[in-house]
Amino acid sequence: MADEGLDLGAAEEAVDTGVESVDADLGTENVEVESDASEGDAEGQQRELGGSEPKSLFANGKFSPEAQAKIDKLKAEDPAFAKQISRAIREVEGYRRALPQGLREVKELRAHVEKLGGLPGIEETVQDLAFFRDLDQQFTAGDPRFVQGLIEAEPQAFLKLAPAMFEQYKALHPEGYAAMAAREGLSQINAAGFALNLERLQDFIAENPKAIEVYNRLVNAYNQLHDVATKKVELPAAKKEPSDLEQQRQQLDQEKSNIERGKWSSAASQYRSKLFNTEFERLTKGMKVSAEDRAEIEERFKFLMRPILERENATLSRFFETKDRDGFLRHLSGIDKREVGRLLGRAVEKTLPGRKVSTAKPGSQPGTAKPATVEKGYQWVAKAPGWPEIDPDRTSRMDFMSGKAVLKTGTKVQWKTRLG
């Protein structure tokens, strides 16, 4: 009959086997292992105990039928000895399951424990980790105990770090630092009786205008210090780092913005290019200008024009931020009308020295006089109408620059323009 204690489901529980168990320090007193013993010898010892042949001894946590038959036979001859053998084998099986690699694993575990200073060293490390974990939580929460912890850990190190900490505090939170410094200064001068002496001083200077003036300055300085010291200041808002998704969205918005601004700039460039060609023909009328000359003139013109446009970046950005496309184009076209002819004239003179530059007035050049016939449906006016009079839905920017517009009254008008 099977022994009722042969179920190995609880093999790892403490069992009173009557045999002295392995000590907590891995059995240095009760299990002797030669230091020069090979791993094969250790495995051979395990096989003698039945620990390396679980299939021949155990099945589903119980002795196999063959092993059980031998245990039953031994039990019939000597029940007490059979019980001791049964428990000893089950205890070895428990060790085998807990330490599959046998003595090799025990040695590795023991080496790791010794490396950490043994059980006392491990306990000390755990305590240190708990201390630093608490310190980190206090720092993250802004708990004043964090500072106290630093002082308790190493007072001299804290004293050395404090000035640098104050400097960083001043840089990150100027108002808070000023209030803290003012409170300390006010405390010091009040402790010295400054306020009381200031009041008493007033009794002695009634007839001395210069002294009264100095007294008032002192009072004002004291009041200013008091105001700073008692001012309630809030911590600056923490900077929130954008998430990866938010960064991608911002980048996409920036790319869209750059494309749109590029379109606006392209429209303005078309107008500048047309004005450049008109002015170039006027200024070089009657001259022989080679392709190389023109290329050099263009480069000089761009060089002269660049700083003027760069100075307008802030203004142009405001137009773009408010989505005022008409204002953007109107501002640039005004700059072009004022600067293109002047700068191009300088570029021509530098490139073609000694050649006479045409001085014909822009108003007398082709395309600026009143056309012989006004475009059908339009009526001629002496000058361009103001923007408040123009219907923006029926007048494009290019129409306006070419001298045509539809007024809010529905009237179509045409006027003289240098571009004609």
Q: Residues 105, 12: one domain?
A: yes
Note whether residue 168 is domain-resident.
no
Whether pLDDT at 369 is above 50: no
> Exposed, middle or buried: residue 205 (CB in 10 Å: 0-12, 13-18, 19+)?
middle
Note whether residue 201 is domain-resident.
yes
Residue where a domain stops, chosen among 115, 138, 156? 115
Confidence of residue 238 (pLDDT cuts 50, 70, 90): low
Confidence of residue 244 (pLDDT cuts 50, 70, 90): confident
* Lowest-confidence region among 8-17, 132-141, 157-166, 331-340: 8-17
Q: Residue for token digits 């205008």?
A: 209
Q: Residues 292, 335: one domain?
A: yes
pTM for this structure? Answer: 0.32
Q: Over the stretch 52-76, which tens digit does the pLDDT of each residue have?
A: 444 557 767 677 788 888 888 888 8
Whether pLDDT at 18 is above 50: no
Note whether residue 2 is domain-resident.
no
Q: Summarize the confidence of residues 243-256 as an average pLDDT.
A: 81
Confidence of residue 277 (pLDDT cuts 50, 70, 90): very high
Q: Residues 198, 217: one domain?
A: yes
Q: Summarize the confidence of residues 391-395 as an average pLDDT.
A: 84
Q: Residues 396, 353: one domain?
A: no
Q: Residues 358, 373: one domain?
A: no
HEC-encoded secondary structure of the chain: CCCCCCCHHHCCCCCCCCCCCCCCCCCCCCCCCCCCCCHHHHHHHHHHCCCCCHHHHEECCEECHHHHHHHHHHHHHCHHHHHHHHHHHHHHHHHHHHCCCCHHHHHHHHHHHHHCCHHHHHHHHHHHHHHHHHHHHHHHHCCCHHHHHHHHHCHHHHHHHHHHHHHHHHHHCHHHHHHHHHHHHHHHHHHCCHHHHHHHHHHHCCCCHHHHHHHHHHHHHHHHHHHHHHCCCCCCCCCCCCCHHHHHHHHHHHHHHHHHHHHHHHHHHHHHHHHHHHHHHHHCCCCCCCHHHHHHHHHHHHHHHHHHHHHCHHHHHHHHHCCCHHHHHHHHHHHHHHHHHHHHHHHHHHHCCCCCCCCCCHHHCCCCCCCCCCCCCCEECCCCCCHHHECCCCCCHHHHHCCEEEECCCCEEECCCCCC
Q: Residues 180, 215: one domain?
A: yes
Q: Summarize the confidence of residues 2-29 as an average pLDDT.
A: 37
* Lowest-confidence region among 49-63, 72-86, 140-154, 362-376: 362-376
Q: Residues 324, 390: one domain?
A: no
Residue where a domain stops, chosen among 364, 395, 410? 364
Domain extent, residue 402, equals 368-420
* Lowest-confidence region among 46-50, 145-149, 310-314: 46-50
Note whether residue 126 is domain-resident.
no
State how many domains the chain has: 4
Q: Residues 357, 375: one domain?
A: no
Reference 393, options 380, 404, 406; nearest CA is 406
Quote the pLDDT of residue 35. 39
Q: Summarize the confidence of residues 336-365 as an average pLDDT.
A: 74
Higher pLDDT, 213 or 406: 406
Q: Residues 110, 17: one domain?
A: yes
CB 178 within 8 Å of CB 186: no
Note whether residue 23 is domain-resident.
yes
Q: Residues 274, 347: one domain?
A: yes
Whether pLDDT at 287 is above 50: yes
Confidence of residue 356 (pLDDT cuts 50, 70, 90): low
Note whether residue 217 is domain-resident.
yes
The mean predicted confidence, pLDDT, of the chain is: 75
Whether pLDDT at 351 is above 80: yes
Q: Residues 16, 68: one domain?
A: yes
Residue where a domain stops, chosen among 364, 388, 406? 364
Max avg pLDDT among 9-23, 28-42, 84-98, 175-189 = 175-189
Quote the pLDDT of residue 3. 43
Q: Residues 89, 103: one domain?
A: yes
Note whether residue 82 is domain-resident.
yes
Q: Over the stretch 94-139, which tens digit does the pLDDT of each residue have?
A: 777 777 777 787 788 888 878 878 778 778 777 777 777 776 777 7
Higher pLDDT, 338 or 63: 338
Whether pLDDT at 191 is above 80: yes
Half-sphere exposure of 255 (CA within 13 A, CB side): 6
Whether pLDDT at 171 is above 70: yes
Note whether residue 124 is domain-resident.
no
